[in-house]
């Protein structure tokens, strides 16, 4: 059985990181063994994923590297790769993949790298870090993109010819549908939402997630459904700005800030609608697959790979990015129609069972891991 060391920048509660916990739940079923390693040292912010990892049967380990250009990093990581007994290394996120490829070579192993986002214009050092990650990752055994929209956006930006390199492949993420499943659930009592219709935004508080547009839409929702509440699950550098926006709009009684949570499946099951109002940069948002797994209808922006998950009018409703009026209209229409919400939820569950099941995803990855461990040239059939 092939053994894989999965490497990330940190054990944050982000979309890419939580996917690793889900992969851990199904790795054995899919036929490979998995270890997890964080480059950054433990901290309150960088260890929030630990409970989910342990729940998945994984033991979190930390390398203690704080920056990409630490001259000790490749040597320390190569030693950790050898110590783990891994046959291959799978890196997620920019810092991890930038270090994984040279370290894996030092350790005599093959590396694979996964990009979880669609390219978008970046300023200054962020642009430099992405460019470096792309060039290094392209020298790995396989560079994985989780949607065709993502692969095409990176090819357009970083390959002048527009030609996609042979080792750039698309593998859709999946989620553990045994964990994210339909069923009764109650909102945590500390939220004070018992008996109320709830619209949940589960996302990092970053500008591109568009949460400000959810808050802008809420006075219109409140006018139609004064009993409904907006639940914001997550944290980030926009939390303070969102809190100020809520206060200035007089929505303190309507919007609940829940912070980062590990009981995501229970919260999704207890939600009436799941909202993702992103404005750019979305690829294949895990939360939308998780919501569908829990048979919840969604309202989301028509950008990136989101239409691969949400069929407009069938499993949810798609709106133009940044359009608060359209968001409000979509939410009101679903909150006012419980039977439509239920029908969308059932169809959404069926859709993700066919296309985004974690076991199928893991089996596709296992095939790539086995090819890499065997040293098979890219493009060669088994």
d(CA 89, CA 18): 18
Residue 381 has what pLDDT? 38
Residue 327 has what pLDDT? 98
- In this predicted structure, the answer to whether residue 193 has a pLDDT above a threshold of 60 is yes
Residue 361 has what pLDDT? 95
- In this predicted structure, the answer to whether residue 82 has a pLDDT above a threshold of 60 is yes
133-166 pLDDT, tens digit each: 999 999 999 999 998 889 999 999 999 877 899 9
Residue 382 pLDDT level (bands cut at 50, 70, 90): very low
**Across 280-285, average pLDDT:** 85
Same fold, 2-174+357-373 and 189-355: yes
Distances (CA, A) of 221 to 199, 233, 245: 10, 19, 16
Please state the pTM of the whole predicted model.
0.79
Class of domain 2-174+357-373: alpha beta
What is the separation of C-alpha 167 from the centre of its chain, rounded to a whole number of angstroms? 23
- In this predicted structure, the answer to whether residue 207 has a pLDDT above a threshold of 80 is yes
Contact at 8 Å (CB) between 210 and 278? Answer: yes
- In this predicted structure, the answer to whether residue 19 has a pLDDT above a threshold of 70 is yes
d(CA 327, CA 254): 16
Residue 51 pLDDT level (bands cut at 50, 70, 90): very high
* All residues at 6 or more sequence positions from 72 whose CB lies less than 8 Å from its CB, including other chains: 65
The structural domains of the chain, with segments of one domain joined by +, span 2-174+357-373, 189-355
Tokens of 364: 């596709």
Contact at 8 Å (CB) between 219 and 249? Answer: yes
**Across 112-118, average pLDDT:** 94
What number of residues does the chain have? 382
**Across 224-228, average pLDDT:** 98
312-353 pLDDT, tens digit each: 999 999 999 999 999 999 999 999 999 999 999 999 999 999
Domain 189-355, architecture per CATH: 3-Layer(aba) Sandwich (3.40)
Residue 380 has what pLDDT? 43
Q: What percent of the chain has pLDDT over 70?
A: 99
**Across 88-105, average pLDDT:** 97
In terms of pLDDT, which residue wins out, 279 or 281?
279
For the chain, give the mean pLDDT.
Answer: 94
* All residues at 6 or more sequence positions from 313 whose CB lies less than 8 Å from its CB, including other chains: none
Residue 80 has what pLDDT? 98
Residue 13 pLDDT level (bands cut at 50, 70, 90): confident
């Amino acid at each position: 059985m092939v053994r894989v060391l999965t490497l990330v920048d940190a054990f944050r509660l982000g979309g890419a990181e939580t996917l690793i916990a889900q992969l851990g739940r199904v790795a054995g079923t899919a036929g490979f063994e998995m270890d997890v390693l964080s480059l950054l040292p433990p901290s309150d912010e960088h260890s929030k994923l630990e409970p989910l990892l342990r729940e998945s049967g994984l033991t979190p380990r930390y390398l203690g590297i704080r920056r990409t250009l630490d001259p000790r990093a490749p040597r320390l990581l190569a030693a950790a790769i050898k110590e783990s007994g891994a046959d291959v290394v799978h890196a997620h996120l920019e810092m991890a993949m930038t270090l994984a490829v040279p370290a894996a070579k030092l350790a005599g192993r093959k590396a694979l790298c996964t990009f979880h986002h669609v390219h978008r214009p970046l300023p200054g050092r962020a642009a430099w870090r992405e460019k470096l990650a792309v060039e290094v990752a392209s020298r790995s055994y396989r560079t994985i993109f989780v949607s065709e929209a993502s692969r095409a956006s990176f090819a357009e930006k970083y390959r002048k010819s527009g030609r996609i390199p042979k080792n750039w492949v698309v593998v859709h993420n999946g989620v553990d549908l045994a964990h994210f499943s339909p069923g009764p659930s109650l909102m945590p009592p500390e939220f004070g939402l018992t008996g109320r219709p709830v619209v949940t935004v589960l996302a990092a508080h970053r500008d591109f997630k568009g949460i400000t547009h959810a808050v802008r839409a809420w006075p219109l929702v409140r006018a139609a459904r004064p009993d409904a509440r907006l639940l914001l699950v997550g944290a980030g550098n926009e939390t303070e700005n969102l809190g100020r926006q809520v206060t200035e709009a007089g929505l303190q009684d309507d919007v609940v800030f829940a912070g980062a949570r590990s009981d995501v499946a229970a919260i999704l099951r207890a939600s009436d609608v799941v909202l993702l109002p992103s404005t750019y940069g979305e690829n294949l948002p895990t939360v939308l697959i998780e919501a569908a797994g829990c048979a919840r209808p969604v309202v989301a922006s028509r950008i990136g790979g989101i239409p691969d998950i949400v069929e407009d009018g069938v499993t949810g409703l798609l709106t133009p990015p940044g359009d608060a009026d359209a968001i409000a209209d979509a939410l009101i229409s679903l909150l006012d129609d419980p039977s439509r919400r239920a029908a969308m939820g059932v169809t959404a569950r069926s859709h993700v069972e066919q296309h985004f099941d974690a076991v199928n995803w893991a089996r596709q990855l296992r095939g790539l891991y086995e090819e890499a461990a065997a040293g098979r040239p890219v493009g060669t059939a088994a």
